[in-house]
Amino acid sequence: MRPLDGLLSGDRPGGLVLSLLLLAVLLGLAFAPFLFPGTRPLGVAARICIFIVLAASYDVMLGYTGIASFAHTMFFGMGAYGVAIALSKLWAGWDAVLLGTAAGVALAALVAILIGLLSLRVRAIFFSMITLAVASFALILATELRDLTGGEDGLTFSVPRLLTPEFRLAAEPVLGARLDGRLVTYYLIFVLSLALFLLMLRVVNSPFGRVLQAIRENEFRAEALGYRTVAYRTLAGALSAAMAALAGAMMALLLRYNGPAATLSFDLMVDILLMVVIGGMGTLYGPVLGAVVLVMAEYYLQPAMAAVSGGLKGWPVLPALFDPDRWLLWLGVLFVLIVYFFPAGIVGKLREGRR
């Protein structure tokens, strides 16, 4: 099992149930185009991959370092706008994709470093407020700089031909899946997401990650051991921001569109926070399950409720209670139940007693 330990940086999920759940997610995503053919399921699977990276990168900040930032969607947006601007203003080539991604990642890391150096010395609540203010400013900026960002309408752009639905690897479907540019886009996102997740797993299980956890537990004790906590937290913030920007770049390629609502909204920030909290903070495996639960709920809770409501036709009150328009109510109930029964998140609960 040594190669597996090497791949997971010695941080196995722990526990049979959790391992099986994560294996099911991995296999489900790896074979999603063939297991669940169709454009919508493929889009949902791709979003799960992207949100795994986004939520895991937020967990590096919140779960491993103890920093509550509300600027994570801003970094996500920077990556997405990097690709969107490059592809819409330059040309629809791979070099433009790389250039836009690199610019978005570099900008995100730079802004994270600046925020960190300027504000990580203040108390946690003030840091959170500063990140909220900066994120709001970025949202306004993206809306106002119409020439560059397309304003509230956003930017629609072409992607390299390999990623377009018109591109065909084979004329006939294989196992029900069309071998076209959407499939290539999906597997590009899947492989990149897997690689980025394993990279983050490597980072949090390195000596650097150990110091971050020590800082999260007690900043003064870590300083008394000789660690410059502001430097470590700033670096963690930059890494987390860069990962979020990469997730944003993938989202732009998937949607072939980017706008404020797609990557910069505060609703998205709440989603990320919920994914981390529901899955389990400080575990990295937690955001994987959190992303799956939340994205699936957003896409399939309404149809499921419509089916339940239809099935209960003729009963008093119940069909109205399960009306698809009330899906947010049930999503809220689901969150309350998860937080009540799994206060340490799903992974925290499943790992209970491991140490």
Partner 1 sequence: MSDGAALLRLAGIHTHIGRYHILHGVDLAVRRGRLTMLLGRNGAGKTTTLRTIMGLWRRSAGEIDFDGRPIGDLETPDIARLGIAYVPETMGIFAQLTVRENLLLATGPQGFDEAQLEAVLALFPALREKWHNAAGSLSGGQKQMLAISRAIIEPRRLLIVDEPTKGLAPAVIQLLIDAFLRLKQSATTILLVEQNFHVARSVGDDVAVMDDGRIVHTGAMADLAADETLQRHLLGLSLASHQ
Residues 336-355 contacting partner 1, CB under 8 A: 355
- Complex with partner 1: residue 160 or 345, whichever CB lies closer: 345
Using CB under 8 A as the binding rule, whether residue 40 contacts partner 1 is answered as no
Nearest to 58 by CA among 339, 328, 291: 291
The one segment of 39-47, 79-87, 102-110, 212-220 that binds partner 1 by CB under 8 A: 212-220
CB of 203 to partner 1, least distance (A): 15
Binding mask 262-291 for partner 1 (x = CB under 8 A): --------------------x---------
Cα–Cα distance measured from residue 172 to residue 177, given in angstroms and rounded to the nearest whole number? 9
Structure tokens at 164: 């377009």
**Is residue 214 near partner 1 by the rule CB under 8 A?**
yes
Q: Output the smallest distance, CB 69 to partner 1, in A.
A: 21
Is position 299 an interface residue for partner 1 (rule: CB under 8 A)?
Answer: no
Half-sphere exposure (Cβ direction) of 326: Cα atoms closer than 13 Å: 14
CA angle 38, 40, 41 (to 5 degrees): 70
d(CA 346, CA 18): 9
d(CA 249, CA 251): 5
CB-CB contact of 96 with 87 (8 Å): yes
Which of 227, 299, 300, 335 contacts partner 1 by CB under 8 A?
227
Q: What does the block give as tokens for 353?
A: 């007693």
Tell me: does residue 1 bind partner 1 (CB under 8 A).
no
* Closer residue to partner 1 in complex, CB, 19/213: 213
Q: Is 121 in the site for partner 1 (CB under 8 A)?
A: no
Smallest separation, CB 217 to partner 1 (Å): 5
Which residue type does 231 have?
A
> Residue 132 belongs to what H/E stretch?
helix 124-144
CB nearer partner 1, residue 43 or residue 348? 348
Q: Which is nearer to partner 1, 229 or 234 (CB)?
A: 229
Among 211, 284, 295, 338, binds partner 1 (CB under 8 A): 211
**Residue 127: which H helix or E strand, with range?**
helix 124-144
Of residues 6, 161, 218, 333, which one binds partner 1 by CB under 8 A?
218
Q: Locate tokens 């967990």: which residue?
A: 59
Which residues touch 333 (CB under 8 Å, ≥6 apart)? none
User: By rule CB under 8 A, what count of residues binds partner 1?
Assistant: 19
Q: By CB under 8 A, what part of segment 172-191 binds partner 1?
A: none
| 228 touches partner 1 by CB under 8 A | yes
How many other CB atoms are there within 10 angstroms of residue 193's CB atom?
Answer: 23
140 token code pair: 């306004």
Q: CB of residue 78 vs partner 1: minimum separation in angstroms?
A: 31
**What are the start-end ranges of the E strands in the chain?**
155-156, 257-258
Distance CA 236, CA 212 (A): 8
In degrees and rounded to multiples of 5, residue 20 shows phi and psi of -65, -40
Applying CB under 8 A, does 224 fall inside the site for partner 1?
Answer: yes
- CA-wise closest residue to 104 among 52, 60, 142, 136: 142
Q: Judged by CB under 8 A, which stretch of 18-26, 39-47, 226-234, 238-246 contacts partner 1?
A: 226-234
Question: CB of residue 15 vs partner 1: minimum separation in angstroms?
Answer: 15
Q: Residue 75's closest CA among 112, 103, 45?
A: 112
Which residue in the set 180, 223, 298, 323 belongs to the binding site for partner 1 (CB under 8 A)? 223
Name which of 67 and 245 has its Cβ closer to partner 1. Answer: 67
- Confirm or reject binding of residue 317 to partner 1 (CB under 8 A): no
Asked if 226 interacts with partner 1 (CB under 8 A), we say yes
List interacting residues with partner 1 (CB under 8 A). Answer: 207, 210-211, 213-214, 217-218, 220-229, 282, 355
